[in-house]
Structures are given as C-alpha cells and as structure tokens.
Structure 1
Amino acid sequence: MPEKVLIYSRFPKAMVLRIGQRYDLMDAAGKPPNEMFAADQLAGVRAMITAGGTPLGADAMDSMPALQAIVCYGTGYDGIDLAAAASRKIAVANSPAANASSVSDIAMMLMLAVTRRLLPADDYVRSGNWSAAKPSPLMKSQPGNAGRRIGVYGMGEIGRRIAARAAAFEMDVAYYSRSKHDVPYRYLPSLEALVQWCSVLMIAVRAGADTQHAIDAGMLRKLGPDGYIVNISRGSVIDQQALVAALADKTIAGAGLDVYEKEPHPPDALTAFPNVVLTPHIGGHTVESHTAMQDCVMANLDAFFAGKRLPYPVTLMA
C-alpha cells in the first residue's frame, strides 16, 4: 500500500500528478484539512506537501498528531511556523534551487521590459499610433542597460543567477545580503547603501520577519526618480502602498513585479501605471522547474518514509 500524504495547499492537478503515482494523496484543495477529512483520517497523516507561502501554523499541525514531515513544493517556506514545527519534532524540507534559473530569467525579463518600456512600445504598435506617426512621450529615448547599476538584494541561488545574467548584459553588479559571499560582485555593507548605489534594485531575498517591508517609502526615495525595482521574491518585502505612492508621484521610474502582498493580485492602482510590468507569480512556472521541484518533493518523501535523513532540510536560523 502506498503511503498517505496530505496535500495542504491548492495545487493544479498536473503539478502533483507524478507525486500521486507514488503516494496516496489526500488533497485538501487549499481548504482547512479538518473541513475536508474526518479526524480519524487526519490522525494517520505522517507527511504533508505544502506551498511555502501558504500559512501553516500550530493549530493545523495539531490537527495531525502523527505528522512528522512538512515538505514544501518550491524553495519558499515563509508561511510555515518553523518554531512550532521544531517544538513538535516535525521535519521541514523544501526544493532548494529547483526553480532558480527560471525565476532569474523572469527577473531579467521584467527588468528589460520596464527599463526599455516594452508595454508602451507594444501598445504604440497595436494602437496604430506608430503607423499614424503620432508622437508619444513614452517612446522617447531611454538610457540603455550597458553600464547600468544593478543591485541584488539577497545572494542565494536566485540572486547569483540574476547577478550572472546582469553581468552578461554588461551591467555593473553589486549586492547586499546577511553575509558576504565568494562571488565576483561588489558587496555593500547595508541595504540602504545598495539602494542608494543602484539604478535597478532586484529583490531576491527570502521572506521573513526581518525582510517584511524592508523596501518602504524611505528606501524608495533613496532609489530615486531614475531608479527601478524588480521583485521576484515575495510581495511582503515591499510596502505595496508605499510603492503605489512612489509611482504616482514619480519618486521612482518604474517597477517590474511577479509577486504581491496579496495574491492573486486584483486590478487596482498598481495595474494602471504604464511604467509597471506585472506577471502572475510565474517565475518558477516552467516545465523544467516543476519537474525539478517534484523530484525534490519525492526525494524528501522517499527519504522520510524510508527512515532516512531528508536530503533538503530547512533549518531554523540562529
């Protein structure tokens, strides 16, 4: 008999199809498990799969008294109460670097699209204004990217790939993270120093209490009227209301966003700006990334049920 595994977050069926060929999946479809399954069914659950951003606290863990492993589909784990898991001796694992290449590709796509004004250019052609030779202030010449200062906030696997891609575009790259890394890029001693230095700020840091609204109104003012911000990390890192205000009063030049404080993101003031490029959290949404994330999930589950050490554990930071 295949082992039972609870699916805690809401996932498209295609994303868990391979996993379901190996395990007996109990799909809660993103609803509280105790609303979908009887207490005696949950009592036997030893392992679960979740999306890292989905809130998962002590109460949910307590509804599954036999729970011993929480496996994240993806690199993030910010929604999980790690202290609660640790106190209950529940192991937490993720899929590190599985989607790093595709997420860094999206970061560069957003950066290029917003700095080279792709959306206004596309509209200029589609509207007929180009063929009619109608002037557009949005189509005036913009600074190119060779020599542009790219600041990468966070130098994990995604940050490293963003930096490498930016360097290939002949950009000047610097970074800030909690510690200095052995990478060929300039390290700046604080986030404030990085924001003041760069003309494009790339957010590639993990979400957490220490990064909540790290980019606030003050930081946006430091970025300045020629500065752009790109976020492929978590929406919580940017104070979204402050970002809207900064765009409205031209405190910054523009933004490229794949993540938001609330997802899915509804049309609002943010969606009205022509100097903002928006994508629906698709950074890791490629065939290769999903295959790699599924491989990590199954490797973690296989090790757990075999009584072995999880290959991709998440540990509490000191």
Structure 2
Amino acid sequence: MSRPTVLIPGPMNKTVLTGIAENFDVIRLWEADDPDALLAERAKDITAVATGGTTIDGAFLDRLPALQLVASFGVGYDKIDAAAAAERGVIVTNTPGVLDDEVADTALGLLLMTARELSRAERYLRAGSWPERGYPLTKATLSGRTMGILGLGRIGEAIAHRAEAFGISIAYHNRHPKDVAYRYYPTLLELATAVDILMIVIPGGDETRHLVNTEILQALGPDGILINVARGTVVDEEALVEALHSNTILSAGLDVFEHEPKVHPGLLDLDNAVLLPHVGSATTPTRNAMGQLVVDNLTTWYTTGAPLTPVHESTALVQNLHN
C-alpha cells in the first residue's frame, strides 16, 4: 500500500521534516529546480500540506484537487485562507497549547523591559556611562497597574496568571465574555480607557488589522504601555510611532511587526520602544514540540480521520466527518 503524499512548500523545523519522512511520501517543493512544474506533475497525488509560513490561498488550494489537510506550524495561521479551505472540504490545523508558556514568558519579559527600561539601562552600562553617574530613575513602575488583555485565549490566560503574581489587576476584551474572574469590557476602546497596560494576544488577519489605532492609543494615555506578542498587523504602526514620539503613550514592547522582518524605521529611533525579532516561542524545546504536533496532526488524520487541533473554521468539517 502506497504512503500518503505530503507537500512541504518551504523549509521547516527539523522535527517536522524527520517525522513526516518516516510515514509519508514527501515532496520538498523548495528544493525543486522548477517548483511549478513539479507541483503540476504531482498535484493529483498530494493529499496534505505541511507549512511553516507559506501563503496558502484559494488559488493555491485549487492547484491541489486531492488535498484533504493543511497542517500549519504555529498558532497564528493568517497566511492560510482557512475559510477558503473549508469551502473546498480541506481541514486546517495549527499548533496551540505547546507554546503558551513560552510566549507568556516573553510577554512578561517585554513588560518588565519596557516599564523598567532594562534594555536601555544595559546599553547605558555597556557605553561606560555608569562611572560618570547612575542611571536615571525610571518614570514607570508595575506596581498598582491594570493590564487589559486583548484576546483572553490560552496565551492570554497564561499571561494573566503571571501578571497577577506581580500584583497587576486584569481586565480583558474578547468577542464574548468568558467564565473568569477578570473584568470584561465589551469594546476595545472601553478597555483601553480603563487600563494602563494593553497586552495584545489576538490573531492577525483582515478582521483584526489596525484594531489598535490612534483612538485606542489616545485612550490608553500618557502612562500607558503597549505590548504586542500576537501579530504586527493588529497595530497601526504609523499611529504607534507617532504616539511614542509625542508621548501620547509611555512606551511599547513589541515582538511582532506589521511588515516583518522589516521594522518601521521610526521605531528603531525611539528609546521608549523595546523591540524583539519575533522570538516569542523561539526555544528549541518549544519549536520541537510545535513540530511534533504538526506531525501528530498528519498522522492522526490518516489513521483516525480526526486531526488533533483543527482551527475553528475547520471544526464543522471535522464534526460532519464523524456524524
């Protein structure tokens, strides 16, 4: 019996490549001399795609008539048109859960660095300025603050639990309230007005593009701290640069950017912005766990017909298969 064929459009985590090769016929498209010709030749054989960031839209899906599953490496899947996939009967999976703690740790690290100017203070020391005079007192403290979490999902709750240990009060905005002890605000504007830390943990995509704009930043106010560990597209970067430059908000800590890996040059010039190169889940153990979940989603799909972590656009498809 022939093994199922899995297409890998671009380079991926070694755990993914090794795990898939053990059980599937693999097409490593990025290594082909003529990727388009190879895809056309093998399209009818391909029943799954494993991807770590390739854009997969309706046109791409239409090139693969036998496709059943797209297994994505990462929690965010905004480069995959999951709705278009569902319309074609194709299930999309992602890798939630295994990176929650790592991203939450990064979020709190960014908050500490931003509020207490830790990276700025280190640069001061390295520049040899300490013998001349001590580093100036920072304007901000975390004591007595309220954090508003935009997107209280798994990662958002992990961040909330950590923030509570710092004595920070928690509020949140989701589409719908959850059964939690934290205060719920029905609009983002109301949340931003009520808090002095805005933590962004929602998915990217057209629905959330530039949700954090000039109005939201003005509502956050001059003592406000913005932290983004979600997707750069959620924030209007032009508005953020202006807000930081004019002290409309106090500071920002960013692990993601609107056009990454390009970073807005205005951010690079600002001392009240802490910038990281999208390292939220970037540890070897976590990335390997994410890779293994990609492999496990593929394996369980072909052995049981039920992938482990389908995205919400694919939930109805999975349910219909088992009704």
Same fold (TM over 0.5): yes
Q: Following TM superposition, by how much is the alpha carbon of 1:273 offset from its aligned partner in structure 2, in angstroms? A: 1.0
CA deviations over 1:192-251 (Å, ceiling 9, x no partner): 111111111000112233211100111111111111101000111001111111112111
Other structure's SS at 2:308 match: coil
2:219 aligned with 1:222? yes
Q: Following TM superposition, by how much is the alpha carbon of 1:17 offset from its aligned partner in structure 2, in angstroms? A: 3.4
* Corresponding residue for residue 69 of structure 1: 69
2:45 aligned with 1:40? no
Correspondence for 1:179 among 176, 182, 185: 176
* TM-aligned CA distance change 1:267 to 1:187, over 3 Å: closer
Q: Distance in 2 between matches of 1:89 and 1:306?
A: 18
Other structure's SS at 2:208 match: coil
* Corresponding residue for residue 319 of structure 2: none
Write out aligned runs for 1:69-88 (5 A).
69-88=69-88
Unaligned runs of 5+ in 1: none
Q: Distance in 2 between matches of 1:259 and 1:15?
A: 24
CA contact (8 A) 2:13 2:287 kept: no
2:243 aligned with 1:243? no
Q: Distance in 1 between matches of 2:10 and 2:162?
A: 32
Write out aligned runs for 1:200-279 (5 A).
200-266=197-263, 268-279=265-276
CA contact (8 A) 1:236 1:260 kept: yes
2:18 aligned with 1:17? yes
Q: Distance in 2 between matches of 1:10 and 1:85?
A: 22
CA contact (8 A) 1:119 1:274 kept: no
Q: Distance in 2 between matches of 1:227 and 1:76?
A: 26
TM-score by length of 2: 0.90
2:120 aligned with 1:120? yes
CA contact (8 A) 2:73 2:94 kept: yes
2:191 aligned with 1:194? yes
* TM-aligned CA distance change 1:263 to 1:13, over 3 Å: farther
Q: Distance in 2 between matches of 1:129 and 1:15?
A: 47
CA contact (8 A) 2:255 2:276 kept: yes
CA deviations over 1:280-311 (Å, ceiling 9, x no partner): 11111123322321232122101222252222
CA RMSD of aligned residues (A): 2.3
CA contact (8 A) 2:237 2:264 kept: no
Please say which of residues 216-225 and 34-43 is displaced more in the overlay: 34-43
Q: Structure 1 residue runs of 4+, over 4 Å off? A: 12-15
Counterpart amino acid of 1:304?
A: W
Aligned residues: 314
Q: Distance in 2 between matches of 1:84 and 1:185?
A: 35
CA contact (8 A) 1:152 1:201 kept: yes
Q: Following TM superposition, by how much is the alpha carbon of 1:270 offset from its aligned partner in structure 2, in angstroms? A: 1.0
Q: Distance in 2 between matches of 1:30 and 1:240?
A: 35
Q: Following TM superposition, by how much is the alpha carbon of 1:142 offset from its aligned partner in structure 2, in angstroms? A: 2.8
Q: Distance in 2 between matches of 1:215 and 1:256?
A: 14
Q: Distance in 1 between matches of 2:236 and 2:194?
A: 20
CA contact (8 A) 1:11 1:29 kept: no
Counterpart amino acid of 2:49?
A: M
CA contact (8 A) 1:34 1:42 kept: no
Percentage of identical aligned residues = 36
Q: Following TM superposition, by how much is the alpha carbon of 1:79 offset from its aligned partner in structure 2, in angstroms? A: 1.7
Counterpart amino acid of 2:87?
A: S
Counterpart amino acid of 1:105?
A: D
Counterpart amino acid of 1:95?
A: T
Please say which of residues 278-287 and 148-157 is displaced more in the overlay: 278-287
* Corresponding residue for residue 291 of structure 2: 294
Counterpart amino acid of 1:71?
A: A
Q: Distance in 2 between matches of 1:159 and 1:29?
A: 35
CA deviations over 1:84-103 (Å, ceiling 9, x no partner): 21121111111122211101
Between Structure 1 and Structure 2, the one with more helix by share is 2
Correspondence for 1:311 among 297, 300, 308: 308
* TM-aligned CA distance change 1:188 to 1:62, over 3 Å: same
Q: Following TM superposition, by how much is the alpha carbon of 1:8 offset from its aligned partner in structure 2, in angstroms? A: 2.6
Q: Distance in 2 between matches of 1:14 and 1:294?
A: 5
* Corresponding residue for residue 50 of structure 1: 51
Other structure's SS at 1:46 match: strand
CA contact (8 A) 2:7 2:46 kept: yes
CA contact (8 A) 1:75 1:98 kept: no
Please say which of residues 217-226 and 4-13 is displaced more in the overlay: 4-13
Q: Distance in 1 between matches of 2:241 and 2:152?
A: 27
Q: Distance in 2 between matches of 1:242 and 1:107?
A: 22
Write out aligned runs for 1:121-140 (5 A).
121-133=121-133, 139-140=136-137
